[in-house]
Amino acid sequence: MAAIGSIRKQSGLLIIVVGIAMAAFILGDFMKGSPRRSNIVGEINGEKITYPEFSRKVEENLEIEKRNKNTSNLTAVESFEVRQRTWNSFVKETILEQEYEEIGISIPTEELSELIYGKNPHQFIQQNFVNPETGVFDPGMVRRFMQTLDQMDQVQLNQWKNFKEAIITDRIGSKYKKLFSDSYFMPEPFAKNLYNESNTNAKVRVVVKNYSQISDSLIVYTDEDIKDYYEKNKEKFEQQESRDIDYVIFDIKASKKDHIKIKEEVDEIYSDFLEAENINSFVNATSDNRYDSTFYKEEDLAVSIAGKIKNAKQGTFVSPYVDNNAYHMAKLVDVQYRPDSMKATHILIAYQGAYRTIQTRTKDQAKVLTDSLLKVVKRNSGKIESLAREFSDDGSVKNNNGDLGWFADQTMVGPFNQAVLEGKTGKVTMVETPFGYHIIKITGKQKPVKKYRVAIIDRAIEPSSNTYQEVYVKASKFAGENTTAEAFQNAIVKQGLNKRSATNLAPMSNNIPGIENPRVIIRWAYEDGVEEGSISKIFDMDGSYIIAVVSKVREKGVKEIEDVEDNVKRSVIENKKAELIKDMIAASVGTDINEIAADIKADVDTVENINFGSATLIGFGREPKVIGEIFSMEKNKLSAPIQGNRGVYMVIIDEITEAPEGTNYTISVNPVKQAFQSRIMNNYLYRSLEKISDVEDNRILYY
């Protein structure tokens, strides 16, 4: 056991490295001055959101997320997503509340009472007050619940308050949407016009000279052409604020010396493992992962372990081997035949202090009630579901009457799982767990299969403190010698480093390739004084050191011409090609569409069933300008050249089939009306409000 004290993970850098890093951090902030943060996380149409207010809501939502995921900790990504959703919720609620207040929508007390107690209560009430025996809404349950409000604790009262607010929010939202959906009206002349557009069809002949038929090399354009197009089409080039960065990663990996030392430590651990008596404690003292008492099937174990213990005697050892950058060793502790899944119905009687309950009965009172119910169930096990509905403290009872269905072996709390495992199907038993007392009826088991309990010791192959120091010195040297963007880029090439890039990083982005938690780098890129060409400090990113340079800064507004030059050139070239094609058509000696097509080396196609309601020209793609021109032309008259998306067109109408005379235009109006109402119900109102709202987001100062 002598090695145990010396084999734990190295923690942190050497004191000298920590000192250098701290000094650099403190002096850096002292020299440049830390930007003062206001207490305002954001502002929505003049309404300020304070940091304490926002942070409190974030914490509430984090706790809800933990409960939903049944975990005590969330990952950095999960926490970031919760903060994002919380902010989006703040923005939406604030914008809508401002709108409701401005137009005077509210829920008076009398209406709220009607939504709770009335003949037609709100859907949330109907969904949450269902009689478990009948499966339908029970108004009596609402009355009884309201009569007990003065007996509830603060947690329950807060839950009821949030429930009422949800009803109010939903009702106001419904009123608001109904104002718009019910206001839809199309005058008869408009309806008639829509009917005619949808039911008038044209048959045309089309000739098109595609832009692709003309080589780009034939097109001459100038810088002035580029600039002119850009100035006239700036609205196409709007952008949000963003940053591009280049960065290098100095990975901290175990050196040859580290490998030798770790191998020596692992050999000593294995030697002690062979002699250890308390396997559980030994694993917890020496392994990177705690002892796992789970029974696994052969296929669920690592291949290197399963192959050694299959058909082996209890106590068999697996000597150290390397896999996934870690050493592993194992000992076969036990072999059992166990079912993969079991089935049970239960009644939970909780008591004050039990896990996840607000029950106030004492443990003794709970035991008396459990014993009484157990006698009834043992006499007639068929009563367990009705008794569960009446007495069980398991929150799922309203949905399952205490029937847990099939559950995997070892997924239930230990004593419960063991009781079902050891009992026979049909047996009724009682067991205590951290949740309280359980009366259990075992209702099913799968056929037992062979499973193994294996004590496994994992020892990661990790860099030592000396290795951390060596890599830090290398990174520091790189940062110290390359303080300009040009030097940074040249050094990467000269030293053969792997340059990585991240583009279009918004202030609240949370993704940089190869970096697990990149928010600290993104926040740096938006700090006051950081501009294009700025070099970062050394970021310690848990297993690597990273140095970044801001390669591009984009402010909110219109993109610079150099950022859209390729797209602008393409549009300018297409416009020039269109003019060239028009000149070719003008130079044609032909007098009809077929002759012109022959002169410009294009084909004539016939297209039928074209109507004004469609933007697609069958066989040619989306061409709204061409279709618009068709329905403004006279029959048998050749059009002028039309510049479309694909090329330059000429068309002639051969037939026009007018819409039949109609008196009821409902069939044409209804789809448009339904589409409008669908957009109303699908948040289009809020999206429109959001676009015209003034939202200032300062979260980057905090997160």
Looking at 380-432, list the stretches that DSSP marks H as alpha helix, in order from N- to C-terminal side.
384-391, 397-400, 414-422
> What span, in angstroms and rounded, lies between the C-alpha atoms of 11 and 89?
40
Containing 159, the helix (H) or strand (E) segment is: helix 154-181
pLDDT per residue over 563-591, tens digit each?
999 999 999 999 999 999 999 999 998 88
Do 650 and 603 contact (CB within 8 A), yes or no? Answer: no
State yes or no: pLDDT of 27 exceeds 70. Answer: no
For residue 6, what pLDDT band results from cuts at 50, 70 and 90?
very low
> Could you tell me the two tokens for 673?
């009306």
**Amino acid at site 482:** N
C-alpha to C-alpha distance for 354 and 333, rounded to whole angstroms:
32
Cβ contact 387:376 at 8 Å = yes
Report the distance separating Cα 375 and Cα 28, nearest Å.
74
At 552, give phi and psi (nearest 5°).
-155, 135
Mean pLDDT of 668-692: 90
CB burial of 317-355 (b: ≥16 within 10 Å; e: otherwise) equals bbebeeeeebbbbbbbbebeebbeebbbbbbbbbbeebe
Closest to 631 measured CA to CA, from 647, 615, 618, 648: 615
Question: 668: phi > 0 → left, psi -120 to 50 → alpha, else beta; which?
Answer: alpha
Q: Give the mean model confidence (pLDDT) for residues 217-225.
A: 94
Q: Are 294 and 301 in contact (CB under 8 A)?
A: no
Quote the CA–CA distance of 143 and 99 in Å, as a whole number. 34
Domain with CATH 3.10.50.40 in the chain: 341-446
Residue 351's pLDDT is 95
The mean predicted confidence, pLDDT, of the chain is: 90
Task: Read off the pLDDT of each residue in 416-428 and give the average, rounded to a whole number.
Answer: 96
pLDDT at 7: 29
**For 27-74, what is the HEC assignment?**
HHHHHHCCCCCCCEEEEECCEEEEHHHHHHHHHHHHHHHHHHHCCCCC
Reference 611, options 668, 663, 664; nearest CA is: 668
- Listed in sequence order, the residues at least 6 apart from 703 whose beta carbon sits closer than 8 Å to its beta carbon are 80, 83, 508, 519, 523
Q: What are phi and psi of 250, to 5 degrees?
A: -100, 95
- Residue ranges of alpha helices (H) inside 200-255 are 223-232
Return the pLDDT at 17. 33
pLDDT in tens, 120-158: 999 999 998 888 777 889 888 888 888 888 888 887 888
Helix axes 154-181 and 109-117, enclosed angle (nearest 10): 100
Question: What is the DSSP secondary structure assignment for residue 130, as one 8-state letter?
Answer: B
Q: Cβ–Cβ contacts within 10 Å for residue 609, how many?
A: 10
Environment class of 562 (CB within 10 Å of its CB; exposed 0-12, middle 13-18, buried 19+): exposed
For residue 479, pLDDT beyond 80: yes
CA dihedral 303, 309, 315, 316 (to 10 degrees): -90
Which has the minimum average pLDDT: 35-39, 305-309, 331-335, 554-558?
Answer: 35-39
Distance, in Å, from the CA atom of 540 to the CA atom of 517, rounded to the nearest integer, reads 11
> Does the pLDDT at position 381 exceed 80?
yes
Q: What is the pLDDT of residues 30-49, one digit of tens each?
A: 334 444 456 899 999 999 99
**pLDDT, tens digit, 9 for 90 and up, residues 636-664:** 999 999 999 999 999 999 999 988 887 78
Dist. CA 401–CA 392, nearest whole Å: 9
Residue-wise pLDDT tens digits, 58-97: 998 998 899 888 888 999 899 999 999 999 999 999 999 9
Tokens representing 87 are 């902010």
Q: Does the structure show a pLDDT above 50 at 216? A: yes
> In which region does residue 405 sit, left (phi positive, over 0), alpha (psi from -120 to 50) or beta (all else)?
left
Query: Nearest-CA neighbor of 687 among 95, 20, 232, 4?
Result: 95
Q: What's the pLDDT score for residue 492?
A: 96
Q: Which residues pair with 438 in a beta bridge?
A: 348, 431
- Reported residue count of the chain is 703
What region does 382 belong to: left with phi over 0, alpha with psi -120 to 50, or beta?
A: alpha
Separation between Cα atoms, residue 46 and residue 102, nearest integer Å = 14
Confidence of residue 605 (pLDDT cuts 50, 70, 90): very high
Enter the pTM of the model.
0.70
> Crossing angle for the helix pair 279-286 and 256-275, nearest 10 degrees?
170
Q: What is the pLDDT of residue 102?
A: 93
Asked if residue 12 has pLDDT above 70, the reply is no
The span from the CA of 289 to the CA of 62, in Å, is 27
Q: Compute the Cα dihedral for 85, 90, 91, 93 and give only its sign.
A: positive
Quick one: 451 exposed, middle or buried, by C-beta within 10 A (0-12, 13-18, 19+)?
buried
- pLDDT for the residue 614: 85
- Reported as a single tens digit per residue, the pLDDT across 524-536 is 999 999 999 999 9
* Dist. CA 454–CA 403, nearest whole Å: 32
Query: Which CATH code, of 1.20.120.80, 3.10.50.40, 3.40.50.970, 3.50.50.60, is assigned to 341-446?
Result: 3.10.50.40
Whether 258 and 461 have beta carbons less than 8 Å apart is answered as yes
Structure tokens at 477: 């040297």
Task: Let me know: does 100 contact 172? Beta carbons within 8 Å.
Answer: yes
Which helix or strand (DSSP H or E) is residue 429 part of?
Answer: strand 428-433
pLDDT at 193: 87
Question: Residue 397 in contact with residue 403, Cβ under 8 Å?
Answer: no
CATH class of 201-238+563-657: alpha beta
* Token digits of residue 240: 């949000």
Separation CA 388–CA 673 (nearest Å): 51
| Helix (H/G/I), strand (E/B), else coil: 275 | helix
| Residue with the two structure tokens 């090695």 | 3
**How does pLDDT run across 151-182, given as a tens digit for each residue?**
888 878 888 888 999 999 999 999 999 999 98
Beta-carbon contacts of 613 under 8 Å, excluding residues fewer than 6 positions away, are 197, 198
Residue 13 confidence (pLDDT) above 60: no
What is the token pair recorded at 113?
A: 């009472």
With contact defined as beta carbons under 8 Å apart, do 302 and 294 qualify?
Answer: no
Q: What are phi and psi of 327, to 5 degrees?
A: -90, 145
The DSSP code for 6 is: G
φ, ψ for residue 605 (rounded to 5)?
A: -120, 150
690, with CB counted inside 10 A (0-12, 13-18, 19+), is middle
pLDDT of residue 358: 83
Instruction: Return the pLDDT at 37.
Output: 55
